Amino acid sequence: MKNDNNTNRKVTIQKSSGYLENNRKRIKQGGTISVMFSGVGGQGIILATTVLAGAARLEGFDVKVSEVHGMAQRGGSVTGSVRFGEKVHSPIIDRADLIVSLEKLEAVRYLDFLKPEGFLFINDYEIYPVSIYLEGRKYPADIIKKISEATSRYKLIKASDIAADLGEIRASNMVLMGSVSMLLPISPGSWIGSIKESVPEQVLELNMNAFEKGREIAK
């Protein structure tokens, strides 16, 4: 599904792509689902990975999580991945069924990992890499064009703007996780349980609100 001009409008991601039903069938047939996260250090890739892994575990799936790679404390590129199903033998992802990118340039960086029938969620947000500053270059203006040339199965979401409106821009990861939850065969109760396990009590309500906003976008 291509982005429209109003990226916060409610869209029927689930119905129009048939993606959720395909994932359910794959799990029933003994397959696995592979999800990759990409972003920049400080955006909450570790938390997003933890929440998905916890939700899948609470749902009763076997779960494997890769180590989060990158310079998480230095604003560098960071990735993490989760595989789940009835039985998962390795955490290694060759190609992803779903990629969740918290920054637009990072979405382009990992496009080659997306399966042809996969789906991509992108936070409509820009963080200028250190390399761009040092080399005096501008942030690429044609990112969405590059993505749309590679796949039509993506959704651009103003997750950072939504999170900022809720009071904390760093909750953008939970906005995206809410949308992601609409495409995976994991019950709302398992998602909520995992968020409660993973998020400190003082910011639990904020993160729950962000998660619900993300679900609303994808309904």
For the cut 60, the answer to whether the pLDDT of residue 149 exceeds it is: yes
Burial label for 187, CB within 10 Å (0-12, 13-18, 19+), is middle
pLDDT digits (tens, 9 = 90+) for 187-200: 999 999 999 999 99
pLDDT digits (tens, 9 = 90+) for 77-100: 889 999 999 999 999 999 999 999
Inter-residue contact 193 to 58 (CB < 8 Å): yes
What distance in Å separates the CA atoms of residue 107 and residue 99, rounded to the nearest whole number? 8
pLDDT digits (tens, 9 = 90+) for 38-48: 998 889 999 99
Q: Which domains does the chain have, with CATH numbers?
A: 13-218 (3.40.920.10)
The model's pTM is 0.87
Of the pLDDT bands very low, low, confident and very high (cuts 50, 70, 90), residue 73 is: low
